[in-house]
Structure 1
Amino acid sequence: MKVAIYSNDGSTSNRVAQQLKTKIDESKILEYDGLNPEIVISVGGDGTLLSAFHHYNDAVSKVRFVGIHTGHLGFYTDWRDYEVNELVESLENDNGQSVSYPLLSIKVKYSDDGPDDNFIALNESTLKRINGTMVTDIYIKGEFFEKFRGDGLCVSTPTGSTAYNKSVGGAIINPQLNAIQVSEMASINNRVFRTLGSPIIIPPDEWITIVPDNQEHNILTCDQLLIHNRPIKSIQYSICNERIYFAQYRHTHFWKRVSNSFIGVHPDD
């Protein structure tokens, strides 16, 4: 089985990555291959795994990811930095087991002469204005829904619902649900202007289209990718046809991850 290692630049992550590389080279079953892997091991944290996902997103349907965290516990990292031997043993006994999560499809149309863009995101995409209030029309499945005024919008996947989406008041969604969520950032609601004022959850057979009133000076993010120098005509968000797969040698239940990350204290502690 072909294995790639994607590490951040931290000293602990580099040490763990080297230990993994040595173990893989010693294995009679595993082969290190950074170009065409079947398994991608991310060493670092959730940010490192996001980078690994985008590095290999052209082959996302062909690879499975494994996360080792070298800092605080993450949502995508099931293994600790001192468990290299146990992970390599699991790799050698791999039988193709996996768990998959939904991804976000992002189709961006620009009003300049350049080509349009298609992106996929594991966590979320946001749209904000560099200065002033952002004003956009929001369509659901091609029908006008509302005119939004405020700081911006966050569109997230279920796994991404625990990230930026949560910080702006969005709900946490179990990734077993194939859905996307739209959350507002500081919307303007008064006697003149009115938005729904709460997050909305979109099923797989619907899509969201955002059309900015002012096409200039907008900042679009797709996970860690930043777009800010092109006039945005419209953005369409939907569930991606592809999914991300994680090798399920062991997998922490989603709600236990949420509890450990945001609550931390249990009755037996």
Structure 2
Amino acid sequence: MKVALVTNHSEKSQKAMAQLEQELAAAGIEQDQAQPDIVISVGGDGTLLSAFHQYIHQLDRVQFVGIHTGHLGFYTDWRDYEVKELVKSLTEDVGHSVTYPLLDVTIEFHSKPDQHFLALNECSVRRINQTMVADVYIKEEKFERFRGDGLTVATPTGSTGYNKSIGGAVIHPRVNALQLTEFASLNNRVYRTLGSPMIIASDEWVRLVLEEADDYFIGIDQLNFQDKDVKQVTLKVAKERIQFASYRHTHFWRRVKDAFIRKCEDDEVES
């Protein structure tokens, strides 16, 4: 087994990283940043997102493990005080893993080559200065003309992030689907959209045909860019999937409860 390490620059993460390197060396586990079998992120969900994009061309052979050093995250099964236990589990590895869906994003431009991306969380499209106008197609059939601030398409694991903050549903990652969510849509006697999140099946896709404008802002996980040449964006469930080594995989709904509910319940008990 060969392991790669990715961390952020916080003091707590650096301390956990130092202990992790010591424990790996003591266990005789080789570190290889170029061709690992396991990628361990030390930090939070953002750090794991960075690790995912760093090893995005090796998804068929690498598994990910997350160590969390801050607030509870959705991609991290281990805490910074459990480094010794994690390394022990590596030495007892039997190859078990769980896989989650990814988002396939193709951006077509008016006057330059297409660009292709994979996303772990979501892709958002919006305009900076004015109302965004886009024809929304499901497969090859036009569904609606959207007017508003923007649209986001999220994976199930990404459904707890930006998607949830704009009214989207939380979806279990075993559901192989995507979610299309509007934010700040215009709905009145003249303009009308569905106005609610949509769950898109794995054999369907979303195509956003954009009105020509010079201020489109596109976010793909942590990557953000602005471009005036965007013609359309096509989004679908990717053929690739991310693998998480399941040495100790936390139940998804327990993660959701820990992130959004448990502190309030604890406060009620204490009061």
TM-score (normalizing by structure 1)? 0.97
Q: Which of 132, 135, 147 is 1:134 aligned to? A: 132
**Residue of structure 2 aligned with 1:148, choices 146, 149, 153:** 146
**C-alpha distance in 1, partners of 2:22/2:228?**
45
Partner of 2:185: 187
Aligned to 1:90: 89
Aligned ranges for residues 1-269 of structure 1 at < 5 Å? 1-28=1-28, 30-112=29-111, 114-264=112-262, 265=265
Q: Displacement, 1:230?
A: 4.5
Deviations 1:11-46 (A, max 9, x none): 111111111112222223x11001100000000000
* Most deviating of 206-215 and 182-191: 206-215
Matched position secondary structure for 2:35? coil
Give yes or no for contact 1:5–1:34 (8 Å, CA) kept in 2: yes
Aligned residues: percent identity?
A: 55
What CA distance in whole angstroms lies between the structure 2 residues aligned with 1:237 and 1:225? Answer: 16
Consecutive unaligned residues of structure 2, counting only runs of 5 or more, are: none
Give the structure-2-normalised TM-score: 0.96
The farther-off stretch of 40-49 and 222-231 is: 222-231
Deviations 1:222-251 (Å, cap 9, x if unpaired)? 100112135111110000001000010111
After superposition, the CA RMSD in angstroms is 1.3
Q: What secondary structure sits across from 1:152 in the alignment?
A: strand
Which of 148-157 and 226-235 deviates more?
Answer: 226-235
Q: Work out the CA distance in 2 between the residues paired with 1:56 and 1:37.
A: 9
Q: Which moved more, 1:11-20 or 1:39-48?
A: 11-20
Give, in whole Å, the separation in 2 of the partners of 1:243 and 1:268. 40
Q: Deviations over 1:88-143 (max 9, x none)?
A: 0001110101111000000110112x321110100011001011100000000111
SS at match of 2:249: coil
Q: 1:210 & 1:61 partners in 2: Cα distance?
A: 29
- Aligned mates of 1:95, 1:35 — CA distance in 2: 23
Larger helix fraction of residues: 2
What residue identity is the alignment partner of 2:21? Answer: K
Name structure 1 gaps, 5 residues minimum.
none
Q: Contact 1:215–1:233 at 8 Å: present in 2 too?
A: no
What is the DSSP-based 3-state SS (H/G/I as helix, E as strand, rest coil) of the residue aligned with 1:151?
A: strand
Aligned length: 267
Q: Helix, strand or coil for the counterpart of 1:21?
A: helix
Q: Distance in 1 between matches of 2:39 and 2:2?
A: 9
Select between 152-161 and 214-223 the one with higher mean Cα deviation.
Answer: 214-223
SS of residue in 1 equivalent to 2:170: coil
Asked whether the equivalents of residues 166 and 172 of structure 1 are also in contact (C-alpha less than 8 Å), the reply is yes
Runs of 4+ in 1 over 6 A off after TM superposition: 266-269
Taking the aligned partners of 1:2 and 1:268, their CA distance within structure 2 comes to 45
